Amino acid sequence: MTNVRTAVIPAAGFGTRFLPISKAIPKEMLPIVDRPAIQYTIEQALDAGIDRIVLVTSRGKTPMEDYFDIAPDLEATLERRKHAKLDEVRRISRMADIVTVRQKEQRGLGHAVLCAKEAVGDNPFVVFLPDDIIVGPAPSVTRQLIDVYGRRGSVIAVQEVPMEQVSSYGVVAGEQVGEREWRLREVVEKPPRDKAPSNLAIVSQYIFSPEIFAALERITEGAIGELQLTDAIQILAKGSGVHAYKFNGTRYDCGTPLGLLQASVELALERPDMRDRVKAWLAGLNAKLGQPTG
């Protein structure tokens, strides 16, 4: 299997959909049950054999760095008290080798990825959009993509979405070359519904060869006045080629308050220490909702 060992995680945005809380807390630090959303992303990367993580941050995002750093006083106290959470606190602070780069101005996803150029160097890398958490049976979506990268080169994860939602996404079209694979011909960022070339939307993850950086240096402001990663993908698609891959797995869109809430409840149901209590609560809630009102 191809060696893809670097991840870029753009986590510099304002998180406007989560205002007002994102005014003071990075949206990536909002909890899914008792862990920040960013931890799920980093664990997805580590699970796929990635050992170098480039986190693109901005002003106000240091809680993310603190979270993955060693907290000697806390560890000493937990150790003294023989606290049950000690092992987990230790594991989190040692789980990943994280490099941070700063995006000083919010100029879009393409610009955020370009900020990681020096840190990535001449290596293939996975871009993780931390809003999306994908769960499902092995192999994970990252492993599925690494496999496609080994056979075809740069690849982006796509999912079918209802036509009324296409304007929220990058949308792809191309020639189908496998059960789940397309060779990209066209990729458009946030098209209006009547201009969308399909309902295959870019979600969650991409794997790029370092060639993408030259394309990112060429793009100009695109949809919503931002430097769009999608426009660089279009350049690469016309050059050495890019494939889209319809992955197998369930996606939770944690980029909105409702999506984060759904992910919290559904992932709590997967947790052996919580499953029974959450099920009992949901059953009670369901009965209450079924009762006639008024």
Residues within the interface to ligand G1P (CB under 6 A): 109, 129, 131, 169-170, 189, 201-203, 228-230, 255
- Residue whose CB is nearest to ligand G1P in the complex, by number: 170
Residue ranges with strand state E in the chain: 6-10, 31-32, 35-36, 52-57, 98-102, 125-128, 132-135, 155-160, 170-178, 181-189, 200-208, 243-246, 250-253
Residue 230 CB, nearest approach to ligand G1P (Å): 5
Residue 118 CB, nearest approach to ligand G1P (Å): 22
For ligand G1P, which is the closer residue by CB, 29 or 203? 203
For ligand G1P, which is the closer residue by CB, 201 or 236? 201
Helices 141-152 and 37-47, axial angle in degrees (round to 10): 50
Please give the span between the terminal C-alpha atoms of the chain, in angstroms, as a whole number. Answer: 61
For ligand G1P, which is the closer residue by CB, 115 or 229? 229
For ligand G1P, which is the closer residue by CB, 170 or 174? 170
For ligand G1P, which is the closer residue by CB, 100 or 234? 234
Residue 171 CB, nearest approach to ligand G1P (Å): 8
For ligand G1P, which is the closer residue by CB, 227 or 278? 227
Residue 39 CB, nearest approach to ligand G1P (Å): 19
Residue 117 CB, nearest approach to ligand G1P (Å): 18
Cα(108)–Cα(13) distance, integer angstroms: 8
* CA triple 117-142-242, angle to 5 deg: 60
The DSSP bridge pattern shows strands 243-246 and 181-189 to be antiparallel
Residue 156 CB, nearest approach to ligand G1P (Å): 9
Answer positive or negative: Cα dihedral of 18, 69, 265, 285.
negative
Answer positive or negative: Cα dihedral of 33, 77, 96, 227.
positive
